[in-house]
Structure 1
């Protein structure tokens, strides 16, 4: 069974087409800090870890971990192997971080040692990696400020090569407690002769307890599944019940091994999104769109199944799956649209744009199976507009100090994301992708935990905005739900050349970006203004204003961790934790 091509359905009620800009606010942000008695365990990349994937996986690692089950509680690991927890209840009386667990580092790893990583599995469990290849599953008890319980290791095992933990979940079925842990490695392929010679490995491990009566329950590995790809995923998470996996990456992943045995790869079932033959052609004017869809020869009007709403379209033949189905790029007028059968083998549809003028970059959101046909007038106009950018000479006016760019000198990070950038849902039973979203130009921005009982949300750039998507694995027809929008954040963050981390509050009251050193930018959602303001150009009253604030830390050390709660921002350096009081609710 081939994976179905899926498109993200934007909730237009959450978009604000009239949003103008963020207004800089000079209001001071109260900032507090705690000095650490030992440095954070920061691992520097070695000479052998030189690729872009090493930098993405380990060089940009967020060393600060937010506890989604307990508000305003953060954790990190220091150079002594201590897991430290800080819970803030009163900003002006910050206490020292409290030790909850300590492990002994393995010095034999040498240059292959990675940063220690932590994942809060549930309200009472956590997964920990020591950076040397050992995985710990810890019973934490109820965490938070009132709890001073030391964490208890109930599982500890060497998993081979060093790894970092991307995600973990805990679930109980038929009285058996199981923890699903997702591990990331960047490994050397000795048989690879092209490129960097490295590949990315995701290992999905299931650890469960034995259910014997009258015996002490012991946790052991029940299943190990390995996926392989060529790029570090921007997003990877296990479903709450451990039945599937979601991965967003620039290059595809495939299952290669299960419990040490290779998985057979079936090449006869390519994913629909990889087909190159166009099944429809379309062209547009300022007022309407003409669509031509290939249909089985001899199809009759009675056999055609056509459904059109203001925002979506579905075209098919009775008794077969829809040929074209999905959300339109923009709204149309169904009453003014029509379709006819041409030459008994194609369906021609005329769609009337509801808003005249704007050019559609695509017809159906995320669908790459169509070809856009440009009229001769449009092509001539486009050529005239772009003529000043071209020259018949390869290098008509060379600059001695700035020689022309050689494409062979470009690094991986200089290229534009490929069309294969996709969000994929894998079935844990079939070990195959079931639904694929072609993200294309939708740049990944950040991941955030909104509800700890659900999968983490991912934030993507759509045009100039940043849209937050909540995975819904229990809803196959609407597996990714648009739940929040940060106006113009996609455009704003692109100008921050020194940006290192990005995040938002779980209640979406603000989004924030931080640079490698000192500066943090806060972008608040529009809120009512107390005074009367008017737009001078448009002559209309402004009822809401979105504010931008900038905070600068009193520190010259690189920022290693960055997390947000509804009220506070937490920033970690090697020697301090800074707490910024963003909201006073």
Structure 2
């Protein structure tokens, strides 16, 4: 990351509430609807040789329920017959074998030079021969761009004899021989030998950095050391923007919106969920976290049955009196708990401004959290 600018996240003090008193448990009933699935969700099972921490994080905690960011009444999942369910979806748009198993971390559709493209970020867990002290695996991110081409010119031509295969590739006119470097696979010395690392060189498991990659140079331009700011979850607030990410700051959880076109405001603090950082740390069985795109509430679910909802503070119709501190309380933040009528593990979890979608192996639950306008 040489040459990258080291910077920091700028917290908006006006979005913090130093006098937040905690959540009050509310017995307010929430309407919960359930839909039995025609076929079970296509759940990926890990093989015996894949039970590493990296595999569990990437695949074991995978969210099988997907939300349409533009029309948030629409959710999608894949069933055991390989069908994309729930609403009208057109398949067979693109089909390509991309190698080892992966999950799609993010994707974006765009038009550039009158060409429609889809950029997809693939996350894989791959074997690492140099990792002799750890799990033996490492995480890789692969950026794949799928472009709609207006004519079917082949990417390359090839011919074959009994001994040789010759491949001819057309390259852009502005590319020279000096720009092309096909690495020597027989090179003996790797760039780094894990066995030569000292203990102080090890990358701490609980440390993390936030990095910005330039799409043209594929270089890191900005780095933020997150330190104790634990990553909690990601959410699409505005489908025209990049996904937001939520970090723990002290006891709170702060939501950050990346802006790719605003270098002076690259990561904007847009919302705060009071005490959520502290609250989620106490939930040992938590599996997924999410928040409403309008920030009206945050929610988390456990591996089985229970869903916790944390509303933003709202004004009280009648003023309460805090006897301990001798002052009036004008607003309150409510915590609600819903227990699903299901014994199967929770596989998917998505939040909209009005409702929560919770997916188990055989049932899709809809929890009405807020009333629509």
* TM-score normalised by L of structure 2: 0.84
- Listed as ranges, the matches of 1:66-465 within 5 Å are 66-85=67-86, 98=87, 100=88, 150-212=89-151, 261=182, 417-418=206-207, 421-465=208-252
In 2: Cα distance, 1:73 partner to 1:472 partner = 26
Query: Quick one: which of 441, 447, 470 aligns to 2:257?
Result: 470
Q: In structure 1, what is the equivalent of residue 39 of structure 2?
A: 38
* Structure 2: stretches of 5+ with no match in the other structure: 157-178, 185-190, 192-199
Partner Cα separation in structure 1 for residue 130 and residue 213 of structure 2? 27
The secondary structure found in structure 2 opposite 1:560 is strand
Question: Alignment partner for residue 507 of structure 1, among 276, 294, 306?
Answer: 294
Q: Secondary structure at the match of 1:201?
A: strand
Q: In 2, are the aligned partners of 1:505 and 1:566 still within 8 Å (CA)?
A: yes
The 3 A distance-change label for structure 1 pair 48 and 516 is same
Question: By how many angstroms is 1:520 displaced?
Answer: 0.6
Give the alignment's Cα RMSD to 1 decimal.
Answer: 2.4
Q: Residues 496 and 152 from structure 1, CA distance in 2 versus in 1: closer, same or farther, beyond 3 angstroms?
A: closer
Shift of 1:163: 1.6
Q: TM-score, normalised by structure 1?
A: 0.54
Cα distance in 1 between the residues matched to 2:126 and 2:24: 46
Structure 2 counterpart of 1:12? 13
Distance (Å, rounded) in 2 between the aligned partners of 1:482 and 1:14:
8
Corresponding residue pairs, total: 333
* Cα distance, 1:173 vs structure 2: 1.4
Aligned-residue offset at 1:261: 4.6
Q: Aligned equivalents of 1:449 and 1:192: distance in 2?
A: 35
How far 1:48 moved relative to its partner?
0.9
Cα distance between partner residues in 1 of 2:60 and 2:117 = 31
2:305 to 506, 518, 543: 518
1:496 counterpart = 2:300: no
Counterpart CA distance in 2 for 1:220 and 1:500 is 46
Shift of 1:481: 0.2
Larger Rg: 1
Q: What secondary structure does 1:157 align onto?
A: coil
Question: How many Å apart are 1:192 and its aligned residue?
Answer: 4.0
User: CA offsets per residue over residues 368-416 of structure 1, 9 Å max, x none?
Assistant: xxxxxxxxxxxxxxxxxxxxxxxxxxxxxxxxxxxxxxxxxxxx9xx86
Q: Distance in 2 between matches of 1:183 and 1:221?
A: 23
Which residue number in structure 1 is paired with residue 170 of structure 2? none
Q: Quote the Cα distance in structure 2 between the aligned partners of 1:194 and 1:498.
A: 29
2:362 is matched with which residue? 575
Residue 551 of structure 1: CA displacement? 0.4
Secondary structure class of the residue paired with 1:155: coil
1:45: Cα distance to partner?
1.3
In structure 2, the CA distance between the partners of 1:77 and 1:11, relative to structure 1 (3 Å rule), is same
1:180 alignment partner, SS class: strand
* Shift, 1:71, TM fit: 2.1
CA distance change for structure 1 residues 259 and 553 in 2, over 3 Å: closer, same or farther? Answer: farther
Distance (Å, rounded) in 1 between the aligned partners of 2:205 and 2:140: 23
Quick one: distance in 2 between partners of 1:529 and 1:444? 33
Partner of 1:327: none
1:532 equivalent to 2:290? Answer: no
SS at match of 2:346: coil
List 4+ stretches of structure 1 deviating above 4 A: 218-222, 258-263
